[in-house]
Amino acid sequence: MTLANAHALFCGLKSEPSYLANLAIDELERKGLMDARRQIRSALKDAAKAMTFSDDYWQDSHTRQIMARNHATIQIKFMTQGSFAYKTLNAPAQKPNQEIDLDDGMYVPVHFLSNGEPALAAKGLFRFVEQTLLPLCRDNGWTLDISKENCVRVKLWPGAHVDIPIYSVPQDQFEEIVEAIALESVNFADSMRGMARDAKPKLKRLPTDKIMLAQRDGTWIQSDPKQLHDWVMARVERYGPVYQRLCRFFKGWRDFEWAKPRLSSICIMCAVDEALRRMNGYPTDQRDDELIMNVAKLLPEIFDGTIPNPVIKDLCLNSWDDDVKAEILAKVRAFRDEVVTALEHTGDARIVVETFRRKFGDRIRYRPDAVKINSKIEAIRKAPAATVAAPVIIPSTSG
């Protein structure tokens, strides 16, 4: 128990939006993203048959082995990934430097060549997506961004874009991808309702090395975004929706601190998971402010160590340059110190609110009346007992 209780500022205000509500994107923007995703998917699906009749989209070694214009019929599917799928998407804190991002992966079934690469050419697929979407962008006033190495980006309006990464999957296993996509929303809804793990639909996972991500330079790399999605959902099952809230709160802090942060969202999500594991318990929904403080107490040590990618074990998420690391550690230590002081030591509701507004911005409402101040005696009585080292006993020979 802390001296101050500021939980309501984060997700408990009644007469006006709390911080969590203010992090949500505008409903018109959400509808705009959904409409753009629908139009983009429809255009690409309708145009996919063109790949069957053109050598431009296939690797030369493949076209030499078959009769001209005798390629397999192409059917594509899409799966939304990233923060939109994880339910951790925040509205930008600093526009126009920060944008709403929707990642919509395009999956293309194809047979693989003897060298282990897809028969479709990576450059050809980028060209197909860009040529297909260019007229759509002109009609809607969107902009096609062709500078990204591993996706095609459609800039919808200032502050929002859709990224389309392009994946190839084995032709004979494509139906399993279709099934996974069909059950994606069902599985997520089940996890939110707390359905028992054994009661959920079981899917056979495709071998990760058979899902390849196209690169603009023409190469393919192994990449299975479903692995990361499953890792995030496993955290939600373990900790509950509070895990998503904590990730959103710390992402909101990051976006308020840096216009163009080097601290990635997945790094934050892994750090929050590590902090909750070290706390040796399951967080409750009653004190988000205290959870923020307790996680913040552990973050300097976590960020100063090594944070591995949860699905690519040899990839480090916090391999920053020394100056970047020093800046991140300085800010997270300052965050920890100010939040601890506000909740555990001040006993002044105005100072508590002002502290959180300095750290999260004015999306924290100025509502000192929503902060509960406990008596110091009560706070001390209910606080966990401190572990005190046993005194050292020095043997004496004096009489």
All structural domains of the chain, each given as residue ranges with its CATH number in brackets, are 4-17+250-382 (no CATH), 26-226 (3.30.460)
Query: Which pLDDT does position 15 carry in this prediction?
Result: 87
Q: What is the DSSP letter of 210?
A: G
Query: Which pLDDT does position 103 carry in this prediction?
Result: 96
CA dist list (Å): 371 to 232, 248, 376:
32, 21, 15
Task: Find, among 153, 134, 143, 160, the residue nearest to 33 by Cα.
Answer: 160
Query: Which pLDDT does position 49 carry in this prediction?
Result: 79
Q: How many CB atoms lie within 10 A of CB 247?
A: 26
Task: Find, among 227, 136, 133, 210, the residue nearest to 168 by Cα.
Answer: 210
Mean pLDDT of the chain: 84
Which residues are bridge partners to 145 per DSSP?
A: 153
Mean pLDDT, 10 residues at a time, over the chain (399 residues)? 95 92 95 97 91 60 47 79 94 93 91 63 91 97 96 96 92 66 51 44 54 91 89 95 97 97 96 96 90 98 96 90 97 98 96 98 97 72 47 44
Query: Which pLDDT does position 385 carry in this prediction?
Result: 47
Instruction: Tell me the H-state helices in 194-314.
Output: 225-239, 242-257, 265-278, 288-304
Query: Which pLDDT does position 396 carry in this prediction?
Result: 42
Query: Which pLDDT does position 56 carry in this prediction?
Result: 64
CB 360 within 8 A of CB 11: no
Q: What is the pLDDT of residues 37-80, one digit of tens each?
A: 999 999 999 998 777 656 666 555 444 445 444 555 678 899 99
- Considering the entire predicted model, what is its pTM? 0.84
Query: Which pLDDT does position 390 carry in this prediction?
Result: 47
In a 10 Å sphere around its CB, with 0-12 CB exposed, 13-18 middle and 19+ buried, how is residue 252 labelled? buried
Task: Find, among 60, 295, 87, the residue nearest to 184 by Cα.
Answer: 87
Angle between helices 322-341 and 349-360 (to 10 degrees): 160
Query: Which pLDDT does position 57 carry in this prediction?
Result: 61
CB 336 within 8 A of CB 274: no
**Structure tokens that stand for 365 in this block:** 């409402």
DSSP class per residue in 101-127: EEEEEEEEEEPBPTTSSBSB-HHHHHH
Q: What is the pLDDT of residues 143-154, one digit of tens each?
A: 999 999 999 999
In a 10 Å sphere around its CB, with 0-12 CB exposed, 13-18 middle and 19+ buried, how is residue 93 labelled? buried
